[in-house]
């Protein structure tokens, strides 16, 4: 009995030592990486700040959409903002604590099955994971913690606590449903346990009220970010290169880490051993499968890849490597083998520490070229300049100003203004326009008071610097240089005058049962020499088959000759069938345009001439500019 107590006490001391080692590692890495800024995280920070200020979970009081994929995380941060704590600082600390918690619960899971050596190596690989630390500040680390703890409590047959944790995970990010379903299948079909009704009840007790809250607050359970990421995927925009798939992104990151340390090759034999050990380690099947199922689900969703989408793979790889090392120690009971397997683990840890050192150095230091795979496993270069742009906007623009940006997180948080993002994260109609490959929609639709663009005045490759309509509406007012000289300057432009009202007109035009024109709107006040004009055409797709459709808005002069025209082209394969949408046609009327009566019309061309219809819709008298 005394011997058993001594063993129990010794094991408890080991657990305390392991927890201390993992915790101190997390603290040290947080201190080294705390200055890292990830743009997407700041979108959730804006939700948290607005919740603290107004009690409303919104990006901005005037934006009614669920444009964060992490509502619970925003609420947690919003609660901390009330005492005046820095939201980014709190989020980074919570991420570090979550990485520690994830690692320790995986260790505890292994310990339950007398696999302390493998558990310690798995935990150490998680707490030093470059991918998790690159995600610092995102809800990703918190989500991984909730699911790792759920793996442990499910294995310990604690269904109520498991259900609560999985419920919290699902309302943090909906993709946690993958882990919840995986644990349910693992418990009932693999481990042959009874259906955990109490656990299911606990899960629903968390999830259902939250879903009701989201429906009442936003009218939808689906965040706008899903549409935005799917639209970006259709356009080839990703966190890697143009037209990069999720699987290609995984390969690119692997190349980057391989370039940092050849020691990563040691993962391969350990993974093979893990596969060999897995059939007898049924308790680890759910943990090992999570990363694979998560990636599969994202492929099926058709979203564009970003590195934090691969975070579940960290847990899967760490668990498989831990199983492989544990197998070595169980099969060959010698001190030499224990030393060898420990050396394998330490070398893998050393390779990850090399990557972490590269991340720390890259926060403020030089970065490789964007074409280099190494750049995809390092923090971005935009944090400092985006913060500076946001601070300038906050100090130099009215509080009710609207600002158009490409990446909305950091700039939007520090600007503290209503934002219009060109990537469609905040506004569903912008995301839908991107799905139609309409890259210009957000500017004429919202006419932001200010814009932030690169020095070439382009976005998505659109040459705005040569666009007469654009240059008539916007003028540069400030150029912000990067304090660290790692990012190109950012130009801030201000709208030159208030936009004119769009005057609505109903029409009913059907072209070959392919497309309908249901209405249009014109800035009629602007129809005079020297003025830029917006024309919006309202369309409806009637065809299940893809057709190339060109819409042209035009003005014919008093002598019936073509005076001005602007066109938009797209495919009905990118347009939802039966749902109305709008496209903009933009032009500037010349200073020397003769006065007189002009005919406005719309022309529709299908498949380069299969159908070609022009409709004169209205006459306008164009006078001088006074």
Domain coordinates in residue numbering, the chain:
2-376, 383-495, 503-622
Predicted local distance difference test score (pLDDT) of residue 334: 57
Does residue 206 carry a pLDDT above 90? yes
Does residue 6 carry a pLDDT above 60? no
pLDDT tens, position by position, 564-592: 889 989 898 888 898 899 999 998 998 88
Predicted local distance difference test score (pLDDT) of residue 396: 97
Does residue 105 carry a pLDDT above 80? yes
Calculate mean pLDDT across residues 66-71. Answer: 90
Predicted local distance difference test score (pLDDT) of residue 331: 66
Split at pLDDT 50, 70, 90, the class of 332 is low
Least confident of 19-28, 44-53, 54-63, 298-307: 298-307
Q: What is the 3-state secondary structure (H, E, C) of 216-279?
A: HHHCCCCCHHHHHHHHHHHHCCCCCCCCCCHHHHHHHHHHHHHHHCHHHHHHHHHHHHHHHHHH
Percentage of residues of the chain with pLDDT beyond 90? 63
Predicted local distance difference test score (pLDDT) of residue 2: 45
Task: Count other Cβ atoms within 10 Å, centred on residue 505.
Answer: 14
Output the CATH code of domain 503-622: 2.60.40.3880
Is residue 501 within 8 A of residue 478, CB to CB? The reply is no
User: End-to-end distance of the chain based on CA atoms, in angstroms?
Assistant: 101
pLDDT tens, position by position, 157-172: 999 999 999 999 999 9
Split at pLDDT 50, 70, 90, the class of 335 is low
Does residue 297 carry a pLDDT above 60? yes
Average pLDDT, the chain: 90
Percentage of residues of the chain with pLDDT beyond 70? 97
Strands, E assignment, 335-457: 402-405, 418-421, 450-453
Predicted local distance difference test score (pLDDT) of residue 229: 74
**Nearest to 469, CA basis, from 404, 557, 531:** 531
**Nearest to 379, CA basis, from 5, 10, 1, 36:** 36
More confidently predicted of 125 and 623: 125
Does residue 181 carry a pLDDT above 80? yes
Predicted local distance difference test score (pLDDT) of residue 494: 97
Q: Phi-psi bin for 437: left (phi > 0), alpha (psi -120 to 50), beta?
A: left
Split at pLDDT 50, 70, 90, the class of 337 is low
Predicted local distance difference test score (pLDDT) of residue 231: 74
Query: What is the Cα gyration radius of the chain?
Result: 28
Least confident of 307-316, 364-373, 417-426, 511-520: 364-373
Predicted local distance difference test score (pLDDT) of residue 237: 76
Predicted local distance difference test score (pLDDT) of residue 1: 40
Predicted local distance difference test score (pLDDT) of residue 336: 63
Split at pLDDT 50, 70, 90, the class of 3 is very low
Task: Count other Cβ atoms within 10 Å, centred on residue 191.
Answer: 15
Predicted local distance difference test score (pLDDT) of residue 354: 95
């Amino acid at each position: 009995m005394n011997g058993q107590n001594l063993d129990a006490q010794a094991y408890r001391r080991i657990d305390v030592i392991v927890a201390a080692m993992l915790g101190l590692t997390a603290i040290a890495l947080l201190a080294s990486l705390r200055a890292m800024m990830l743009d997407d995280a700041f979108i959730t920070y804006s939700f948290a700040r607005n919740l603290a200020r107004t009690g409303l979970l919104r990006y901005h009081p005037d934006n009614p959409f669920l444009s964060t994929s992490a509502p619970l995380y925003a609420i947690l941060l919003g609660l901390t903002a009330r005492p005046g704590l820095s939201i980014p600082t709190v989020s980074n600390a919570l991420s570090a604590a979550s990485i520690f918690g994830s690692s320790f619960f995986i260790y505890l899971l292994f310990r339950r099955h007398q696999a302390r050596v493998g558990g310690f190596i798995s935990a150490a690989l998680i707490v030093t994971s470059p991918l998790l630390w690159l995600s610092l500040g995102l809800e990703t680390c918190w989500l991984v913690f909730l699911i790792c703890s759920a793996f442990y409590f499910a294995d310990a047959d604690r269904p109520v606590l498991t259900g609560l944790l999985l419920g919290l995970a699902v309302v943090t990010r909906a993709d946690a449903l993958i882990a919840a379903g995986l644990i349910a299948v693992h418990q009932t079909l693999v481990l042959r346990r009874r259906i955990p009704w109490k656990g299911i009840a606990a899960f629903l007790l968390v999830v259902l009220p939250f879903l009701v809250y989201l429906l009442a607050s936003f009218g939808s359970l689906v965040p706008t970010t899903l549409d935005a990421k799917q639209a970006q995927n259709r356009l080839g925009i990703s966190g890697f290169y143009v037209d990069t798939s999720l699987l290609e992104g995984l390969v690119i990151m692997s190349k980057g880490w391989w370039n940092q340390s050849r020691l990563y090759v040691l993962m391969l034999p350990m993974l093979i051993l893990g596969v060999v050990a897995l059939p007898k380690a049924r308790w680890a099947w759910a943990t090992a499968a999570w990363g694979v199922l998560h990636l599969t689900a994202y492929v099926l969703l058709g979203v564009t890849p970003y590195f934090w989408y691969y975070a579940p793979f960290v847990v899967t790889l760490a668990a498989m490597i831990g199983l492989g090392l544990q197998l070595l120690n169980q099969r060959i009971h010698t001190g030499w083998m224990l030393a060898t397997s420990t050396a394998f683990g330490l070398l893998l840890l050393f390779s990850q520490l090399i990557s972490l050192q590269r991340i720390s150095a890259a926060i403020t230091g030089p970065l490789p070229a964007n074409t280099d795979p190494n750049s995809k496993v390092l923090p971005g270069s935009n944090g400092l300049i985006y913060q500076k742009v946001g601070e300038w906007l906050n100090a130099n623009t009215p509080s009710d100003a609207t600002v158009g940006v490409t990446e909305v997180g950091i700039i939007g948080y520090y600007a503290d203004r209503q934002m219009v993002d060109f990537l469609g994260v905040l506004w569903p109609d912008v995301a839908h326009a991107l799905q139609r490959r309409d890259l210009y929609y957000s500017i004429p639709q919202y006419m932001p008071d200010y814009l932030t663009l690169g020095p070439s005045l382009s976005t998505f490759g659109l040459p705005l610097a040569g666009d007469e309509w654009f240059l008539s509406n916007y003028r540069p007012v400030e150029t912000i240089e990067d304090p660290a000289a790692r990012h190109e300057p950012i130009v801030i432009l201000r709208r030159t005058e208030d936009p004119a009202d769009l005057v609505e007109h109903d029409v009913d035009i059907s072209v070959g049962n392919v497309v309908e024109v249901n209405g249009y709107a014109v800035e009629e006040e602007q129809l005079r020499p020297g003025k830029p004009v917006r024309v919006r055409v309202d369309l409806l797709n009637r065809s299940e088959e893809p057709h190339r459709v060109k819409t042209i808005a035009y003005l014919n002069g008093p002598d019936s000759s073509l005076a001005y025209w602007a066109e938009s082209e797209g495919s009905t394969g990118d347009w939802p069938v039966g749902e109305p949408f709008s496209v903009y046609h933009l032009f500037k009327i010349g200073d020397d345009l003769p006065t007189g009566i002009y005919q406005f019309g719309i022309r529709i061309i299908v498949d380069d001439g299969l159908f070609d219809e022009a409709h004169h819709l209205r006459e306008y008298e164009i006078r001088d500019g006074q």
